[in-house]
Amino acid sequence: MTVDELRRTIEEFLAAHDPATTERLEFLRARYDAGLAWVYFPPGHGGLGLSPARQLEVDRAFAAAGAPDNNPEGNGIGLGMAAPTILAYGTDEQKRRFLRPLWTGEEIWCQLFSEPGAGSDLANVSTRAVRDGEDWIVDGQKVWTSGAHLAQFAILLARTDTGVPKHRGMTYFLCDMTDAGVEVRPLRQITGEAEFNEVFLTGVRIPDAQRLGGEGEGWRVANTTLNTERVAIGGRASDRESGIVGVVTETWRAHPDRRTAELHDRLLRLWVDAEVGRITGMRLRQKLAQGRPGPEGAAMKLTFARVAQQLSGLELEILGEEGLRYSDWTMVRPDRVDFNARDAGYRYLRAKGNSIEGGTSEILRNIVAERILGLPPESRADKDRPWNEVAR
């Protein structure tokens, strides 16, 4: 499809579905069915099989026409992590069942990966899934689950074989969060918010038809999710000087009396780091859209966490006592994280989580060292030993 043909397709769609008069959900469903959701996805699954580079052009055309969006901030895990994993490993039936309501935002998704004893070492999960006829029975506990209180479905990593080494005994499932055996409890953070949750799974029955990938192949499937997650956290699409760097730069411009040569040098270095990170994120998202998420996402996420923490600290130094004020510590359950909507104290505290969520910085440095730089792996006492023979 040429550029002109794609443009005509969009114009014809908008003529038939006027955003000003078409009900929001009806509009989004029609856009998906027309292949104008993810244009780089295959026909029949919201796309036209085009190059990922064409997506930006499509999104801009719909935005210019005043078209409704599909709640990308509220369903970031579904759109950024579940969808590419389902596309890569799902059966045709799974793609037909899940991708459309996921893209339209009718079904919100969360991620059941981290556990109290397996966060940094995700391959060590102990949540069990036991086969029972055509179903699996799942029991265990997950933690640090964003949006679990809002989600209808979750991507779930569970152990299905304890007699093999940890990376080979896990299986990946699509879990219905409305099952009676799913209990969600809020976790209050240092910011006062409770955007994360604990999730307890008791006798949750998951049909085998909702297994993603083969039995025991959960680690391979999860790596696709993890690579897309790191790009999603560290490489969100953004304009120059947006996000925290934009806020801190404006603070600097608004307080000329507090400038010093040392603060100026630090801000300049962080501004350059943020810009390099933004442009690198653009390249990584293109690879991701082509179904080739790589370990480079770990470096992207590492940079994002470091720059966010250093910038939020620099903002407090520029503001002095004013920066120590904290406007509201009321417990709320936000459906998105918005660094720009709160004060400097919030940004400083919330940024601490950036080096934990989506893989700790320590684990990501190991990935960079081993998979990108090719350095020797660290010593692992549990390597090649059956999971049930390792003390924990």
Active site residues: 229
CA angle 338, 28, 243 (to 5 degrees): 20
Helices 296-319 and 243-254: crossing angle, nearest 10°? 20
Alpha-carbon distance of 14 to 65, in angstroms, equals 8
Distance CA 5, CA 105 (A): 28
Helix or strand holding residue 211 (H, E):
strand 211-212
Q: How far is it, in rounded angstroms, from Cα 133 to Cα 321?
A: 63
The whole-angstrom separation of Cα 349 and Cα 368 is 27
CA distances to 11, 22, 162, 360, 388 from 18, rounded to whole Å, are 10, 6, 55, 45, 59
Handedness of CA 307, 312, 313, 318 (dihedral sign): positive
Antiparallel, parallel or unpaired: β 182-187 and 135-142: unpaired
Rounded to an integer, what distance in angstroms lies between the CA atom of residue 199 and that of residue 143? 6
Pairwise CA distance, residues 119 & 131, whole Å? 25
Give the separation between CA 133 and CA 373, rounded to whole angstroms: 45
SS (H, E, C) 129-187: EEEECCEEEEEEEECCCCCCCCCCEEEEEEECCCCCEHHHCEEEEEEECCCCCEEEEEE
- Write out the DSSP string of 265-296: HHHHHHHHHHHHHHHHHHHHHHHHHTT---TH
